[in-house]
Chain A
Amino acid sequence: MRSAATQEPVFPKWHWVTERGLQVETGEQTLIRYEWLLARALPEVEAIIPADESLLIVLKPGTSVSASLRALLAAPLTDASLNVGRLHEITVRYGGEAGPDLEALAERAGLRSPEWIAQHAAVEYRVEFLGFQPGFPYLSGLPEPLWAPRRDQPRVRVPAGSLAIGGRYTGIYPGEGPGGWQIVGHTDAVLFDPARGSPSLFSPGDRLRFVAT
């Protein structure tokens, strides 16, 4: 459990994404504010979508920001703490055909490939948000030496299960499709299956560890 840092009632910056999406800048408190708002289930809120240091609060058609939502956005999170998300262990084949960009990334980081893999698999990651494709997790916690820009030329076809690096995030492609992140490995885990009771393997706030095979 981590406590929220803010004590002061600070009104966050917001913008609109169409007239129905209130984008609130939530910084490092994004997940905690997300869980906190979800628990309060306001009637005018259709959905809340966490993203990179912001939340998109989707209002039901024909509604606007109510006084209670306004108050909740400004309220300090003194008594809130982030739920400890489920921990997943994801088995990965790093490098080779499964991870065609690994060698170049290791070189860029001044590491040998096994050292790069050891660093990537040594830490615990957190699902900050899901997006791009159904079930695609944006994972924070990537050691800074491993950060790497997206590819100049996106690939037309990235296989499902590809483990990738995009900026300061690591992520996994749930389905096959085009993609611009650097591919470093592959997992057989099924990240998204619409027929499952819980279609997405991961939810915002979940934790991950990678295990190299």
Chain B
Amino acid sequence: MSGVHVIAVRRAGMCDLVIDLGRPGFGHLGVPRGGAADPCAMAAANRLVGNDVTAAGLEIIGTGPALHFPSGGVVALTGSRFAASRDNGVAVSWNEPLVLDAGETLDLAKALEGYRCWLALRGGLAVPQVMGSRSTFLPAGFGGQQGRALRAGDSLTLGAATGEMRRLRACPPFPRRTHLRVVSGPQTGRFDDAGLAAFFTEAYRVEQASDRRGLRLSGTALTHGRTDIRSQGVLPGAVQVPPDGQPIILGWDGPVTGGYPVIAGVITADWPLLAQLKPGDEVRFATVELEVAQALAATDWEIGEPA
């Protein structure tokens, strides 16, 4: 075992997924890119522990895992803050590297606000690459830890640490907006005025049946003339409306083609907000011009020496 660093999953969370920046390039075969729901947050966590931004870490929602580090390790957390503890009693901080002593257990009990956090581990999780990525793709059961979420009793192996290790601190861009920004969709014109008015002025609730394939919303039904449209290519953020009129925001592991009208599309710059929505939350939408949205590339986090 010398030189091989293993982490033991003492308790699994609600859905802990091995994740990286996804597997681009297979959309034409029906495989979505997937990857971290907030790629900038995952990349920032990796940079904090000296990893390449493409290293695999964990995406954790709601209630997190308890991870045992027999030989210690260096980790970093970004995203939603969780009630978290470690054996040596030192507070578990976000947005900076944490040095865990040999034999410590890091316990990420539950989200205090928001829904998702990302854990980077120095060296990266050494699961095999599948189609160029270590991301778990649950809908088809491949990638990550044997194509599934972590389970108690799993052993995770770390890769060799290569990058330089420094004392760093990350400054997350705080998206304190209350509305998800959207651009018009290909079938916006199919919806009646009442439906469009409801979509842009009323609150919609995130339903329990939501996951990385899609956020199912409930609220005023959005009616459209025809329910049957030709299958079209879709992307995460596209808001599809099935015949029952209740919108679904397609998620990171959603299908690459869809047969329901798309009323609008959540812009990529608002993925950090989308990633933190949980069942029971309310969402509201606001339009933004296409050109504005395209200029708002996802923001890389600022990372530097601590003050």
Apart from A20-B235, A56-B233, A194-B142, 18 more pairs, CB < 8 Å = A16-B184, A16-B186, A17-B185, A17-B233, A18-B236, A18-B266, A19-B294, A47-B28, A49-B27, A49-B233, A50-B233, A52-B230, A61-B298, A64-B291, A131-B231, A138-B231, A192-B30, A203-B28
Q: Which of B288-306 contact A (CB under 8 A)?
A: 290-291, 293-295, 297-298
Q: Hey, which chain A residues are within 8 Å of B142, CB to CB?
A: 194-195
Instruction: Produce 1/0 per residue, A173-204, CB < 8 A to B.
Output: 00101000000000000001011000110011
A54 on the B face (CB < 8 A): yes
Contact (Cβ within 8 A) B238 A18? yes
Known: A18-B268, A46-B24, A195-B130. A134 touches B29 (CB 8 A): yes
Total interface residues in chain B, CB < 8 Å: 44
Between A and B, 21 residue pairs with Cβ closer than 8 Å are A17-B262, A18-B237, A19-B290, A20-B235, A21-B234, A21-B265, A23-B232, A47-B27, A48-B27, A49-B256, A50-B233, A52-B230, A54-B233, A62-B295, A130-B256, A134-B26, A135-B30, A175-B140, A194-B130, A194-B140, A199-B26
Residue in A closest to B33 when the chains form the complex, CB atoms: A47
Chain A residues near B (Cβ < 8 Å): 15-21, 23, 34, 46-56, 58-59, 61-64, 129-136, 138, 175, 177, 192, 194-195, 199-200, 203-204
Contact (Cβ within 8 A) A56 B234? yes
Q: Hey, which chain A residues are within 8 Å of B256, CB to CB?
A: 49, 130-131
Q: Hey, which chain B residues are within 8 Å of A136, CB to CB?
A: 30
B14 on the A face (CB < 8 A): no
Contact (Cβ within 8 A) B131 A199? yes
Our pick among A51, A177, A200 for the contact of B231 (Cβ within 8 Å) is: A51
Write the nearest CB–CB distance from A17 to chain B, whole angstroms. 5
Contact (Cβ within 8 A) B140 A23? no
Instruction: Produce 1/0 per residue, B159-202, CB < 8 A to A.
Output: 00000000000000000000000011110000000000000000
Chain B residues near A (Cβ < 8 Å): 24-31, 33, 130-131, 139-143, 183-186, 230-238, 255-257, 262, 265-268, 290-291, 293-295, 297-298
Cα(A23)–Cα(B262), bound, Å: 12
Write the nearest CB–CB distance from B123 to chain A, whole angstroms. 24
The listed residue with most B CB atoms (<10 A of its CB), out of A34, A49, A61, A138, is: A49
